[in-house]
Each structure stands twice: as C-alpha cells, then as structure tokens.
Structure 1
Amino acid sequence: MSIDASHTSQGGTVLSALARTATRRPLTVILFWVLFLLLGFGLGTGVFARLSDNVPEVPGTESERAAQYLDRTDPTGESITAVVEGVAVTDPGLRGQVERAVTDVRAIAGVAAVPDPYTTRGLTAEDGRALLIPVTLTGGLDDDAEERAVDAAADRIKEIDALEVHVSGGPLLGTQIGERAQEDVRNAELISLPVVLALLLVVFGGLRAAGLPLVIAVSGIAGAFLALFGFSQVTDISVYAIQVTTMLGLGLAVDYALLMLVRFREERRHTDDVVEAVHRTVGAAGRTVLFSGFTVAVSLTGLLVFPSVFLRSMGLAVAAVVVIDMLAALTLLPALLTRFGGRIPPAKTRAEGEEGRVFARLARFSARHRVAVVAVVVPVLLVLALPAAGMKIQIGDATQLPTSTEARQLYDTVDAHFPPGTGVSPVTVVLKPGTDTATADRIRALSPTAQTRQLPGGTSIVEIQPSGIVDGKAATDLVQRVRDVRGDTPVQVTGPAARLVDFRAMLSDRAPWAAVTVLIGIFALLFAFTGSVLIPLRTILTTLLSLGAALGAVVWVFQDGHLAGVLGAEGLGALSLTAPPLIIAIAFGLAMDYELFILARMREARRRTGDDQDAVVTGLRRSGRVVTCAALLLAVVFGAFMTGGFSPILQIGLGLTLAVLIDATVVRMLLVPATMALLGRYAWWAPKPLRRVHDRFGLHEEAPEQRELSRSN
C-alpha cells in the first residue's frame, strides 16, 4: 500500500512518510491534534492580552531613536485622556464631581500630573458642554504598575455622573482595540463557519465530508492563536494580527481540505481500499498542498526584508499559520479519512465530457480566442488598477475604528465640541546638549504653537502642534521642515508624524528588495513544480494583474470614499499603512494557491497524453470546480471578518476578497488558458541546464494510471 517512490523527489519521500504515519497510527495522530487544539484555545488565547498598537515603529530610524532617548530621560511617561460631556459642565454638581475625581486620580500611584480642566486653557469646550481630563503617567513604570495606574484612573473618572464619559488613549487604547479584536474574531467565526458548512454540504452532498474541512479549519484557528502567542513572547504583536492570521488560517485550511477531499472521493472510484485511497490522495493532492503551503509562505518572506517589527512579526506569524494548515491537511485529514473515510461515498461517475464541462468550454473558448481574450482582459485589469497609482498611506486616527468603540466615541465627542486639531499629538523635537541657540530659535519660529520644556541634563523638548490630523500632509511637512532647518546639530524629531515619514521611507527603500526576494522564491518553486521557465513568468505577470486590480479597488473605496458607506466605513483620504503590504503579500500567496491547483491537473494530463492543448482543457476541467469553490469559501471567510467595522481590517478583507475572486475567475479561467495557448508547446520549455537541474531536484509526480502500471510491473 505504499506509494511508488521511483522518480519522486525528496518531497515525495516526506509525503510517503506522512501518509504511512497517518494510516498506520490514525488515533495517535488525531490525539496529537486534539491536544494541539486544547493548547491553542487555552494557552494561545492569552495573546489577546499582549497586543500592541505601535504599528509604525521601525527600529533604527530617527523617530524611534528619539523616542527611546525620551523614554530614558523624560520623567513623564505616557498619558490617557478622558472627555466628560454634559448639558453644562459648569453645573455646580458636575463640577464638584469632576474636581473630586481629579484629586483622587492625582493620588494614584504612578500618576504624574492631572491638570484642573476648569482652570487650564483649552480643556473646557467653548460651548460649555464638554471638558477634557488628560492624565500623565510617571516615566519608567513597568508594565504591571502602568496597567494598575491606568485602570485605577479610568475607573475613577468613569464614576463621574454625566451624559457621556469616555476614557482612552495611550496604553488604554491597545487594550480596548485588543478586546474589540477578540470580539470581532468571535463574531466572524460565528458567521463564517455555518455558511462555510452550508456551502460544503452543497459541494459534497453529505455531512461527513462537509464536516472534515471545518475540523481542519478549527485547527488552523488554534494554530493562529498559538503561533501569535509564541511570537508575542519575543516581539510585539500588532492588534491587526489576530484578524489577519485567523481569517487566513481559517480560509487556507478549508481550501487545502477541500482539495484533498475532492481528490479522495475521486480515488475512491478506483479502489475500495480506504487506506490505499488515502495514500493516493496524499501522493497526488498532497504534493499540491505541500507546494502551495511553501509558496504562500515564500510570498510572505518579503515582509521579513522590512525592519519594521510589525511587518516582520506579521510575516512570521502568518507563515507559521500557513505551515500549520498545511501540516493539518497532510496529517490530521489523512488520519480522519483512514478512520471515517469509508463512510464518505466516492465521487459520482459521469459520462465522458460531462465532468467540468463548463470549465472545459471556458478553456476552449479562451484558447480559441486567445488574442482577443488577452486584448480585453489585460486592459480591463489595468484600468481597475489605475487608482493604486495614487495610493497614500497614513497611520490614521480613531476614525478607523467602529463608532461603538470607546476610542472612537471619545474622538467624536471631542470633534463635536472642541476646535479642529484638539488632542492631536504634536511633532516632538528633541534638542540635545550642544544644539546652538540660533537653530533652536529657527525651529521654534516654524510655528506659533511651539512650546518648550526642559529635561534633566540640558536637553530641551520643543512640541509643535500641527494643523489638521495627526499624520496629515501639514504634520509630515512640518517634520521635513524641522529636519531641513536643523542642519548638522544634534536635533531629532519624533512623534506619530515623524514615524510615518520614516515608515514611508523604509517602505520605499526596502520594497524593491522584498519584491525581488519573493519573485525569485516563487519562480524557483514554480520551476520545481513544472520544470518550465515560461510558466512561472506567465504566472507572476497574470497574478500581478489581479493583485493590482484588487488594490486599485481598495484605494477607490477607502481612500477616495466611493461606496465606502456600503461597507460601514468612510473615505479617509488614505489607506492604513498596514493594509497595502499585507494585501500584496497574502494575496500573492493565495493566487499562487489556485495556480498550483490548476497546474497540478494540467501537468497530470500532459504526462498522460503528451498533448499540450488538451492538457490545458483537461486541467481546467478537473480543477475548475475546486478552484471556484475554494475562492467562494475564502470570500465568505474574508467577508465575515469585514463585519467588525475596523477600517484596516475592512481594507485588508476587501483587498483579499477581490484579489481571490478576480484571480480565481477572470485570471485563472480566462487569462491562464489564453496565455497557455499563446505559448503553445513552449509553455513547458526550459533550457537544457535547467532541465537537468529539474530532472534531479524538481517535483516528479506520477499520474494514477502510471502508478498502477508501475505496481503491475
């Protein structure tokens, strides 16, 4: 019952070992994964308390060095802000409550300062209906002491009896967003899992087969939590990581399980031996899953090129989840099939030409009218991608959050009662000892709002309040003007606007290297899979088209504001700086997923018949249904995560949904057969030296008929 190892790569040996383990000791494998699930949903969920909202930090940049310098030298620490709204905040009863609360908060250990909102300029609204209470913490507090101080201050302020009392900002903001992320994940799972199950029931026509992908999906979710918790022990994990890794873990797990189950039911038509069918499935579809997992992981390695802690941690965490999904599909699913696969009926036998006839017709149409298809599809995708040329990125503010979150409610209340720019973080200029007076004067002269304070050791801090939003053009231009004025003096600029400027510079510097790293890795994997140099090039170019179209649509909706209200969002004038790199990296990997599903079937047909044109039609006929169902299931998963209302997640969810749907339909069903027909017999060509490399190290997968012939001999 072993898989024929002749003419197989090292990957085939690994798959054979996995198949033998899963079929010989299925209960052991299942028990291992049960323990993994318990660990993931037990220990792994601890990551929700360890999330960070410090996305734009880039180690080594000027803004980060200045921030670290201030952490060491500035006796004041972070701050939180409260807004109290009433019919009249000067009402004696309300004023008495506020003053008592301010006095009590000042006495909390770890609180450095709380100004009187009634006597401090700018803290009481001109309309007399709201006031601000900023609470500054002592510098150098450890995490536990800071958390106790923040919680005690927030709880005391919320005891004020007013129309509205909201507290957020600083370390409290990360906690609030983390709680919202946990709620969004739970709601998304409650929405997506029943819908996915219903769709799987339609695909398979039975509860047993439909339920198995959900088991793998739950394993993917547990893996996401556990991977993030592990990485949180050594690095910061972004508040965005939970939704992104969970949606991808859930979606890919269903994809891989769907591919394996469809193949298992096909193999059951050829043998009544369940174990033999499992071995055949792992030997064929398992290879595609293995290469797909590696390809998605390689697509995410581009994120490791960036020095940003956020991008690196996201790349590592998502890649880890992909590997977990892949291992679950290659070990847990075969074990479950060994135990319960006998109750899953084989795929229905259909007359020649009936199976996948719609996809076969599409393939023939595209191949017959290949020039026309390319001439129409490519310009349409390029037009859809045009808005991406004007893409802008920003850190963003509370407008990215759902209106039900406390940070957003605080923002909206302040915006309703105070002048524009109130509460916007200033551009912070650090004038270290040795800065000449003339330079300091020129920096202060940049804005009439500049305020100076002294730190121990002779350092001066100049805080300049920018007009507009925290990271808008006025704020980033101010950062650049300060850096132009300072010359060679020991002056550094930090704050949100400075971090955005440095983050953009980091993206610009490292993006070409990230692209080269990913493209070389993808090319190498696709060459190993196909033995061709032209198919990888064609795949990369067509994938970039679908990716560009999806990114253009995201810019059109969330940056320009078209139809944003339909998604419960609003046009923000820019995308979240988290969205574009994650959409590009993940969508590129997912597109490779479907390409491999199709290429695997094309390769099988070509090895069996030697007919290049027939291989394209047969490949799409045999894989079209799986690719379409997988894309639809992924779209359901991504769509469920878009119900949370958190703008960065909406942007990522919409981008990935469109990328998957465009790629699985327009590109794979029309553009792939058209371009393969244009290439003809040269599609599978490679220079002789590379052909020898592939013969020795590449993937060599046998079709089922050839395996039977090999066994008979």
Structure 2
Amino acid sequence: MTTPDPRHGALLRRWGRLVARRARAVVVGWLVFIVAGFAVALGALGTPSLFDRLDSGEIVVDGENQQGRDLLAEGGGSGFSTYTQTLTGVDLADPAVATAATVAVRDLTAIEHVESAVNPFVVPEGPTSPQALRFVLDGDPASGGFATVVTFDPDNTAEDEAAATEEVDVVLDTLAAQTGATGDQRGGLRALVDRIIEQVKIDGQRGEGIALPVSFLVMVVVFGGFVAAGFPVLGAVASIAGALASLLGLSYVLDLDASVVNVVTVLGLGLCIDYGLLVVSRFREELRALLRGAPVSETTRDQVMAATASTMDRAGRTVVFSAITVAISLAGLLVLEIPFIRAVSVAGVSVVLIALAVALTLIPALCALGARRLLRKGTESAADVGVFSRLAEVVHRMPWAVIAVVSGLLVVMALPTLRLELTSSGPELLPKGTPERVFYEDFRAGYPLLAGAEVLVVTRAPVAEVEAWASTLGERPGVESVDPVRTLERGVSTVGIQTGDSGTGDASRALVDSLRTDRPPFEAFVVGQASGIVDFRATVAERAWWAVGLVVLATLVLLFLMTGSVVIPVKALVMNVLSLGAALGVTVWIFEDGHLEELLRFTSTGAVENTIPLLVLAFGFGLSMDYEVFLLSRIVELHEQGYDTRTAVTLGLQRSGRIITSAALLMVIVFAGFAAGDLLVMKQMGVALVLAITIDATLVRMLLVPATMSVLGSANWWAPRPLRRLHERWGITE
C-alpha cells in the first residue's frame, strides 16, 4: 500500500489549518452575512425586496412569435395593462343599467393613470350593436352579462397602477351595486402575474419550511446527535441568505422570472446540506483516525487542526470537484439564447459558488469548534464491513445480470420520453379554483372576442387585403371561428382565430404549422402560445448540441484529471444519460398522461412545461455527477493507496454509500418541497428532480457503477500513454 504524497493537496491542507485556526472569526463572519443577506433580500432595510423585482409570464424567445408581439405592442394591443370586470345577472335593456354603466366609464377615465375605459353602453348604437357584442356575455344581450375593460397608461409604474386600481375598484363596486348584478368577477394579466409570483413565494417558503426541519431530523439519525446534524442545516440557512442576496443583485442586470428564485435557492439549500454532510462525516472519520480510540477528552488543538486539514484535502477536494461539475452543467445553458434559461444558468452558478464557500469555510470552522461534541459517542473508527460492502460483494458475484436488469429497467422507464409534448401554460400554472385562474377560464368562455383568440395574425398590410385573406381561413386545420379584423394604432391590424383549446392544444399547433407553411400573401406574424412553443423548440434544437458538447467535454476533462482514466468518464456519461432519460420518462408518464393526479394534487395539461426538460437535464446531470464524484473520489483514493479495483470498489462503496444515500435522501426531501407546492411548473420540476436523484443514487450508484467496474476490472483505469503522462503531470490526485 502506498502513502499519499504530502505535496498533493497542499493548498487545501493549508486552507483547512487556516480555517481551524480562525474558526470563531469565520463563524461570526457568516452569522453577520446571514443576517445581512436576509435583511437586504427581503427589503428589511427599506430597499426594494427581491420579490418586488421579479416577473412571471410566458417564456419567449427570439422568433416569429416575439416579432409579432413587438408589433402588437407598437399598435397598443398588448393587453398587459388592462383590468376587466364582468357582471352577471343584469338586465341590459334597463335604462338604469345603461345610465350606471355610462357614468362608470366617465368616472373611470377621470382617474389618474387610466388611459381608457369601455363597456357595451358607450359603444355607438348601444349593447346590441355588432361592435359592442364582444363586451357582452356570449355575444347575446339577453344573457344578462357584460364586461367593462379599463386600460391603464402604458408608462405607469407598478405603484401608479396599484394606486389607480384601488380607485377603479371603488367605481366598479358602485357599478355592480347600481346594476343589481348577482355576479362580479375582476382580473387582468398583471393580476395573474402577481398571483403567480406570490404563489412562487408561498411555495418556496413552504418547501423550505418542510425541507429544513425534516432534513435536520434525518441528519440527527444519520449522525446520531443534534450538534453534527445542526452544522449542515446552519450551512443551508447561510446558502439561502446568500442565494437571495445574490439574486437581488442579479435582478438589476437580468430579468428574473419568479420561478428562478425557487429553483436556485432550493438547489443551494440541497447542495449545502450534501456538502455539509460530506465534510462533517469526513472530519469525524479523520479525527477518529488520529485519536485511535483514545478518550475524546484527550483531543488536542493540533489534532483538531490536523483533522480539519485532512478533511479539506480529501472531502474538500471532492466538494470542489462536485461544485465544478454542477456549475459546468448549469453554465452549459448559457449557450441557449433564451433569457429565462440564461437567468437560471447565471443565478444557479452563483448559488453553487455560495454553497462551495459554505462547505470550505463555515462547515469546517463549525467542526473545529465542536470537535469534541462531534465524537461524544466514541472515537473508534468505523468498520470496513457493512451493508454497502456486502451489497458490493453481491454485485461482484453477478455483475452481468445486474447490468442487464438495471439497464433494461432504465430503458423501459425512459420510453415515454419519445412522445414528450411541450407546452407553455398561463393560468393553468395555478391550481384549479384559484380566483385568478377561474376569472380567466370564465372570461375566455364567455367573452372569446374580448379575451383574445388562441392564434393571432398580426400585420401592417392594408385592411381590405387582410379581410379578403381572413375570409379563407375557415378551411385551415383547427379553426372553429375567425374574429372580425381588428385595426389598432400605427396601421397595425390583427386577425384572431379561435381554436377552442386555450391556445396550446393540437388544434392551435396544427393551425400554426399551417399558417407558417402556407403563409399569407403579405408580411405577417403568427402569435400565440402555440407559436411561442414552436419558436422555443426551434431555438433549443439549434443550440442544444453546443450546450451538450461543452458540458460533455468539460466533464470528461474534469473526471480524467480526477481519475487518470478515459474509461470511467465515458462510462459515467453513459450512465447519466440512462438515469436522466428514465427520470424524464416517468415525468412524462405522470404529468403528460395524467397519472397520480390525485396523489400529487395537479390537473394535467396533456403536456410538460417547455422549460422542464432543459432544467431537469442540467440540474439532474450536475447532481448525478455530484454523487459520481462522491463515490469515485473514495474509489480513486483507495486505488491510489494500492488496493485492487474490486477491493477499492467494495471499500469505496462501504465508506461512501452511507453518505451518498443520506445525501440523496436529504436532496429528495429538499426537492419534494417543490412537489408539495401548488404552482404546476414547480411541481413538475420537483417531481422530476426527486425521480432523477432517487434513480441515480440507488439503481445507478449502488448497482450499475460497481457492476460495470467489476466487469472492467483493471481496464477501468486505462488511458493512452500520452494521456497517462499528461495526468501524471497535471492530474489532481491524493
């Protein structure tokens, strides 16, 4: 057996000693950082809070849909700054109703920051005229319902619009009372966006409220004590504070979607718990090895410093490798020209760096300060025989059977991915029964001409030419009806086409394909959710291979520097593909096919949100490599000490198996907070990542990795001679 070269890892060893020597100062510094981070991010110092600077809505990319939306905005038809009231149970033929509605419009337009107000009673010829019917429930004056649409000035600030909305509601209250309405609903796109942002905040608080205490209880069981369990949890709190503060800073240079906050803060929370678990476990192991069974009361300061140095040299190196792999997988998303995805990428990398800083400073400092309490149950080293070593021996005896069964199972689980259908939901993101969703569903059903068509054609062509072309649209696939051509400002006109599927179903998709293939005889843009989905998929298809190539290349290089092998990195990538494919396949089976709706409390839209596959692949790949690094670092360490491959795998699995399964369980708990939320996109993300982590930490790391390493034997460590020389010079070893 060889002795590790003391020159290797000198930097991390020195760092560990420095942290142990200045442990109190490090902890105090982090406590100040935690308080300041939460105060700044939540607006406790009088500055805008992070949640005040978030946005949410349809995720758009460059393409025809966005060009059409820009043209629509030029014509004043974006609809974002509108606020609508719908009344039912009203007699539209009653003169008193007409008077009240007319007075309401006059009072509404007199409010500061209101640009206009319209209902059927201020349209020439009254509510029975063709121009007014779009403001009437079901287009039928006998239906007893009508809408009043208030448009705010487009240059309003959020505060201006909020203040104006309060005054508008007073007028609308009066209108409802004077007309004798039995039903009164109000809403708008801004209100919907605000509700989604609020739901993100609620789901995030709920998820963290579940994750932290449950994780703490699990770690109490894992470590056998409250002190050791508390260290990673304190690190997780620090990561949340740092994540929120960094996101606030990024919000000044990037447009941050509300869902970005939950995604990256929960990632930081999970990584900090994982890294804290690894560092605390390794510190106890190193300190026990130094004490060799001596009473814990005899622990010296030098031994604590030596244990901290060794922990940073070994577990610290693993954490650095892990953080780099996760950061690489997230950085690969920068290649995609999608603002939302790029924001996730930048924010995610920043949070990974915070988790790394916590693991290399706060956690070892806490270990140094609480060294004696960490070993209060004894200083004897753990045995190298246990559940995981016995599992490895079973796998060694029948590796081919394990490879065949596990690989076959993963392929079967991945098959639903072949029929993956993407969507971009709006109100459907909120649970059924949410007032904002109810308003939009009822509004679209009762006022289809006012709510907007599922597919919209936007153009600056002459109106007569547009009308002539629109008269032929009834022959297109998916068309239920065609709205009258609407003229806006600056020569912009629109043709609304109703498909009856809320804009994301098969009819809308078929119509968009038809309109983009057989185009109008004039310049026009096809706009709508289905059109946006087409552009999203095209953008991803165009740039995805660059992202995949960069991530794969960087990962191969990183794992080669760690192992000195070209076989192990390639094998790791293949197994990650199988693992992530299986997780995505089950996600499709659940959310696209509508299984487990009652258990998970969601209503299927018949598709998966378009950002989910990208985020699951990026986050899942990073976390899969995280556990790969945890396991490989132990196996490589043992192999470099002279153990043969089979023994190194057996001992490596025994010494890291408990850490990997515990870390995976804790990460599952963290991401289960997403699954417990109400926002559909967050629920899909949570379930998909829970599946990815569970599959990877059990089927892949515990079975497939030892089985393939057993079959390959010494070939695991093969590399061409030039690369071996390169690794001898530049490789990162123990």
- Paired residue for 2:279? 260
Structure 1 letter corresponding to 2:39: G
Equivalent residue of 2:525, what SS?
A: strand
TM-aligned CA deviation for residue 103 of structure 1: 4.5
Within 2, Cα distance between the matches of 1:408 and 1:27? Answer: 52
Matches within 5 A, 1:337-356: 337-345=367-375, 354-355=383-384
1:34 aligns with 2:31: yes
- Paired residue for 1:169? 188
- Paired residue for 2:314? 284
Q: TM-score, normalised by structure 2?
A: 0.87
Identity of aligned residues (%): 37
8 Å Cα contact 1:479-1:498 kept in structure 2:
yes
- CA, structure 1 residues 96+693, in 2 after alignment: closer, same or farther (shift >3 Å)? farther
1:385 pairs, out of 414, 417, 423, with: 414
- CA, structure 1 residues 155+395, in 2 after alignment: closer, same or farther (shift >3 Å)? farther
Q: Deviations over 1:107-155 (max 9, x none)?
A: 3333333331573324444595765443333445455545544565467
Structure 2 letter corresponding to 1:30: V
- Paired residue for 1:570? 603
8 Å Cα contact 1:306-1:506 kept in structure 2:
yes
Structure 2 letter corresponding to 1:652: M
Q: Which stretch of structure 1 is more off in the superposition, 439-448 or 179-188?
A: 439-448
TM-aligned CA deviation for residue 485 of structure 1: 3.8
Matches within 5 A, 1:448-597: 448-486=481-519, 489-597=522-630
- CA, structure 1 residues 205+133, in 2 after alignment: closer, same or farther (shift >3 Å)? farther
- CA, structure 1 residues 436+261, in 2 after alignment: closer, same or farther (shift >3 Å)? same
Structure 2 letter corresponding to 1:431: T
8 Å Cα contact 1:81-1:132 kept in structure 2:
no
8 Å Cα contact 2:191-2:436 kept in structure 1:
no
8 Å Cα contact 1:80-1:172 kept in structure 2:
no
Q: Which stretch of structure 1 is more off in the superposition, 113-122 or 203-212?
A: 113-122
Q: Which stretch of structure 1 is more off in the superposition, 110-119 or 276-285?
A: 110-119
- Paired residue for 1:446? 473
Structure having the higher Rg: 2
1:248 aligns with 2:267: yes
Matches within 5 A, 1:194-343: 194-271=213-290, 272=299, 273-343=303-373
TM-aligned CA deviation for residue 689 of structure 1: 1.4
- CA, structure 1 residues 215+489, in 2 after alignment: closer, same or farther (shift >3 Å)? same
TM-aligned CA deviation for residue 602 of structure 1: 0.6
8 Å Cα contact 1:442-1:485 kept in structure 2:
no
- CA, structure 1 residues 345+468, in 2 after alignment: closer, same or farther (shift >3 Å)? same
Q: Which stretch of structure 1 is more off in the superposition, 592-601 or 130-139?
A: 130-139
Within 2, Cα distance between the matches of 1:182 and 1:62? Answer: 33
1:113 pairs, out of 112, 116, 127, with: 116
8 Å Cα contact 1:421-1:467 kept in structure 2:
no
Q: Deviations over 1:502-543 (max 9, x none)?
A: 111111212222211211111111111111111111111111
Equivalent residue of 2:499, what SS?
A: coil
1:668 aligns with 2:701: yes
1:418 pairs, out of 431, 436, 446, with: 446
Q: Deviations over 1:185-209 (max 9, x none)?
A: 1122222211111111111111111
- CA, structure 1 residues 347+429, in 2 after alignment: closer, same or farther (shift >3 Å)? farther
- Paired residue for 1:47? 50
Q: What number of residue pairs does the alignment pair up?
A: 692
8 Å Cα contact 1:176-1:406 kept in structure 2:
no
Equivalent residue of 2:496, what SS?
A: strand
8 Å Cα contact 2:84-2:148 kept in structure 1:
yes
- CA, structure 1 residues 91+413, in 2 after alignment: closer, same or farther (shift >3 Å)? farther
Equivalent residue of 1:255, what SS?
A: helix
Within 1, Cα distance between the matches of 2:37 and 2:103? Answer: 45
Structure 2 letter corresponding to 1:452: V
- Paired residue for 2:124? none
1:432 pairs, out of 460, 466, 469, with: 460
Within 1, Cα distance between the matches of 2:15 and 2:67? Answer: 48
Q: TM-score, normalised by structure 1?
A: 0.90
8 Å Cα contact 2:81-2:153 kept in structure 1:
no
Q: Which stretch of structure 1 is more off in the superposition, 256-265 or 538-547?
A: 538-547
Flag structure 1 segments of 5+ consecutive residues without an equivalent: 702-713
Q: Deviations over 1:6-58 (max 9, x none)?
A: 442xxx45524532442232233223322322232122232211222244221
1:376 aligns with 2:444: no
8 Å Cα contact 2:10-2:313 kept in structure 1:
no
TM-aligned CA deviation for residue 88 of structure 1: 5.9
Structure 1 letter corresponding to 2:277: L
8 Å Cα contact 2:602-2:680 kept in structure 1:
yes
Within 2, Cα distance between the matches of 1:95 and 1:405? Answer: 32
Root-mean-square deviation over aligned CA pairs: 3.0
Equivalent residue of 2:451, what SS?
A: coil
Equivalent residue of 1:237, what SS?
A: coil
Q: Which stretch of structure 1 is more off in the superposition, 242-251 or 340-349?
A: 340-349
Within 2, Cα distance between the matches of 1:62 and 1:204? Answer: 56
- CA, structure 1 residues 650+342, in 2 after alignment: closer, same or farther (shift >3 Å)? same
TM-aligned CA deviation for residue 438 of structure 1: 5.3
Within 1, Cα distance between the matches of 2:490 and 2:688? Answer: 50
